[in-house]
Structure 1
Amino acid sequence: MKFAQILYDKAHWIFEADEKPEFAPNIILVDITHKPTVKEGWNYNSETGEFTAPNIPEPIPVEPQPTLEEMQAQTLVNTEYLIARSGLGL
């Protein structure tokens, strides 16, 4: 038999045993023998007894940081630009 320990409405721990173990009364175990797709972290609805996969949002893309060489090149361009403006009296 296959069981899922439910903690905070999620399948916290999935394990196999010959029979349902006797744990403390506050530990909730659900028989998932006939639900082979259930995985740890899935949501559990205690009213319906159904498991659903968690909705994990896509990560927010992070723009890559400029390299040291790119920052130095940009500083050089900015410096040359300021010198040129100064030479023109702007």
Structure 2
Amino acid sequence: MNKYCQIYNGKSHWIFESETVPEFASNIIIKNITSLGIQPKEGWDYDLAIDKFTAPVIVPTVSDDPSQSPLQLTILEALQKQILELQNKLLESEGVI
């Protein structure tokens, strides 16, 4: 049994196991991911040009809520920056980016 990933619009859309590769429309790619060291998850990006999956970068947003004080916004912005840096370091260490 092999593990496959259905790729649609540059995203990992559906991961499934099958003995055969099902037929889909020409704009949908089916990729055998059985032997990949890092298994992609649904929602990951796929770059056809380099044949590589990458985890999506989740960027927390700072709210425009007027009830937040300037200090709260400053803290949230600093945390957002740290989260992005840590997420990138983790993805680099795992060879994803």
Deviation at 1:28, TM superposition (A): 1.3
Q: Gaps spanning 5+ residues in structure 2: where?
A: 68-97
Is the contact between residue 8 and residue 27 of structure 2 (CA under 8 Å) also seen in structure 1? no
Number of matched residues?
Answer: 65
Residue 73 of structure 2: aligned partner = none
Partner amino acid for 2:34?
T
Residue 9 of structure 1: aligned partner = 10
Structure 1 length normalisation: TM-score? Answer: 0.60
How many percent of aligned residue pairs carry the same amino acid? Answer: 44
Q: For 1:51, what is the secondary structure of its paired residue?
A: strand
Partner amino acid for 1:45?
D
Q: Gaps spanning 5+ residues in structure 1: where?
A: 66-90
RMSD: 2.0
Matches for 1:1-90 after TM superposition, within 5 Å:
1-35=2-36, 36-60=38-62
Structure 2 length normalisation: TM-score? Answer: 0.56
